[in-house]
């Protein structure tokens, strides 16, 4: 097998790692391209395990990229949310992850990626390698250039932080989709009371406009404030508009695509305890919707 063929065989796996590390497909593609350049400069015949070599290179490149974007994200206008994955990407990434029994292996949700942003780069790398890709501590130590004991601490600390920031609830995909659909209808009517009935009292909403479009500059806490914000946004900007809210699946979870005619306005996703919405994610930054917009144009 040629060096190019070997690399292409593992490309989806490398994109999977880089996206989980960075939460952005464009940045993930840049990392994979740099991994290819490094691979091309090596003599592949001297590498006994190309997948392991390429995975290690991708993690290290992702760590460098993540450290660089941290400063940019700290000055980001409003909450930063990950770029959504298209259904084909989600299926490919989930199939690639070998640890089917582990939660993190199949969880590509916006909610999890949002929580991973709160970890240090090395905590994020260690947790992803261990819980999503079944790497043992010796492999993680070699990739991160640390001893195994330090890597165990990184994984343990990261896992506890994820558990604390994102309590797990049991809700079927059907219940999830039904609650999202009901909330879409309530938000379309701009009636705060209807929306509040579907929100947990301590719900949180994150809206990412990136300074490009109207969105809340800070997280919104509480059902009343969330409902009034959405109702106010509708009255101010879309009082005379006909909005279409189409159910789809992004990052393996039900999501709504909000459009006015052919114009993409944003994506809405939720976390739920099975009865109420606990977290609402509204992604409106056009830069993060480019791939989704393009895919929808091709399908029409």
Which domain CATH number covers 207?
A: 3.10.450.50
- Pick the last residue of a domain from 165, 199, 234: 165
Give pLDDT tens digits for 62-116: 999 999 988 888 889 999 999 999 888 888 887 776 655 566 767 899 999 999 9
Please enumerate in sequence order all residues whose Cβ is within 8 A of that of 184, keeping only pairs 6 or more positions apart, or say none: 245, 256, 268
> Based on the domain organization, do 159 and 226 belong to the same domain?
no
Report the C-alpha gap between 126 and 121 in whole angstroms: 9
> Based on the domain organization, do 238 and 275 belong to the same domain?
yes
The overall pTM is greater than 0.85: yes
Residue 27: predicted pLDDT = 94
Residue 95: predicted pLDDT = 76
Give mean pLDDT, residues 135-162. 96
Token pair 């909000």 is found at: 258
Report the C-alpha gap between 224 and 226 in whole angstroms: 6
Give pLDDT tens digits for 126-143: 999 999 898 999 999 999
**Residue 39 domain boundaries:** 3-165
Burial 101-128 (b: 16+ CB within 10 A, else e): eeebbbbbbbbbbbbbbebebbbbbbbb
Region of 210 on the Ramachandran plot (φ > 0 left; ψ -120 to 50 alpha; else beta): left
> Based on the domain organization, do 61 and 107 belong to the same domain?
yes
Q: What is the mean pLDDT of the chain?
A: 89
Q: Which residue has the higher pLDDT, 4 or 226?
A: 226
Main-chain dihedrals φ then ψ at residue 180, nearest 5 degrees: -65, -40
Beta strands in the chain (DSSP E): 199-208, 220-221, 243-250, 253-260, 263-272, 277-283
5-to-27, 39, 52, 227, 247 alpha-carbon distances in Å: 23, 12, 16, 52, 38
> Based on the domain organization, do 14 and 149 belong to the same domain?
yes
Beta bridge partners of 36: none
Residue 203: predicted pLDDT = 97
Report the C-alpha gap between 94 and 11 in whole angstroms: 14
> Based on the domain organization, do 160 and 184 belong to the same domain?
no
Question: Do residues 245 and 184 make contact, with C-beta atoms less than 8 angstroms apart?
Answer: yes
Question: Do residues 80 and 209 make contact, with C-beta atoms less than 8 angstroms apart?
Answer: no
Q: Band the pLDDT of 1: cuts 50, 70, 90.
A: low
Nearest to 133 by CA among 21, 248, 227: 21
Q: What is the CATH number of the domain that holds 119?
A: 1.20.140.160
Would you call 243 helix, strand, or coil by DSSP?
strand
> Based on the domain organization, do 240 and 192 belong to the same domain?
yes
- Total number of domains in the chain: 2
Give mean pLDDT, residues 287-295. 89
Beta bridge partners of 277: 199, 272
> Based on the domain organization, do 159 and 190 belong to the same domain?
no
Question: Do residues 291 and 25 make contact, with C-beta atoms less than 8 angstroms apart?
Answer: yes
Residue 66: predicted pLDDT = 95
- Pick the last residue of a domain from 165, 191, 216: 165
> Based on the domain organization, do 157 and 211 belong to the same domain?
no
Q: Where are the alpha helices (DSSP H) in 99-136?
A: 103-106, 110-116, 121-127, 133
Give mean pLDDT, residues 173-182. 91
> Based on the domain organization, do 18 and 151 belong to the same domain?
yes
Residue 83: predicted pLDDT = 95
> Based on the domain organization, do 177 and 249 belong to the same domain?
yes
Report the C-alpha gap between 234 and 258 in whole angstroms: 12
> Based on the domain organization, do 16 and 160 belong to the same domain?
yes
- Pick the last residue of a domain from 137, 165, 193: 165
DSSP secondary structure letter of residue 210: T
> Based on the domain organization, do 11 and 84 belong to the same domain?
yes
């Amino acid at each position: 097998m040629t060096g190019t063929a070997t690399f292409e065989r593992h490309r989806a796996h490398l994109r999977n790692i880089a996206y989980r590390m960075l939460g952005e497909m464009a940045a993930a593609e840049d990392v994979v391209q740099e991994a290819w350049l490094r691979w091309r400069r090596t003599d592949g015949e001297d590498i006994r395990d190309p997948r392991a070599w390429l995975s290690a290179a991708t993690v290290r490149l992702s760590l460098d990229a993540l450290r660089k974007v941290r400063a940019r994200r700290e000055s980001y206008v409003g909450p930063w949310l990950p770029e959504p994955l298209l259904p084909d990407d989600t299926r490919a990434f989930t199939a690639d992850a070998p640890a089917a029994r582990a939660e993190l292996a199949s969880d590509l949700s916006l909610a999890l990626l949002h929580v991973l942003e709160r970890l240090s780069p090395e905590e994020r790398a260690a947790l992803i390698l261990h819980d999503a890709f079944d790497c043992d501590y010796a492999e993680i130590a070699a990739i991160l250039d640390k001893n195994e004991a330090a890597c165990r601490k990184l994984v343990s600390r990261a896992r506890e932080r994820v558990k604390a920031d994102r309590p797990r609830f049991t809700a079927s995909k059907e219940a999830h989709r039904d609650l999202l659909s009901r909330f879409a209808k309530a938000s379309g009517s701009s009636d705060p009371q209807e929306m509040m009935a579907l929100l947990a009292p301590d719900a949180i909403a994150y809206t990412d406009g990136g300074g490009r479009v109207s969105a809340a500059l800070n997280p919104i806490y509480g059902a009343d404030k969330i409902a009034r914000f959405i109702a106010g946004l509708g009255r101010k900007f879309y009082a005379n508009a006909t909005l279409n809210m189409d159910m789809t699946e992004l990052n393996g979870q039900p999501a709504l695509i909000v459009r006015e005619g052919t114009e993409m306005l944003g994506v809405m996703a939720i976390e739920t305890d099975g009865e109420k919405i606990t977290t609402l994610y509204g992604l409106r930054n056009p830069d993060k919707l480019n791939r989704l917009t393009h895919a929808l144009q091709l399908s029409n």
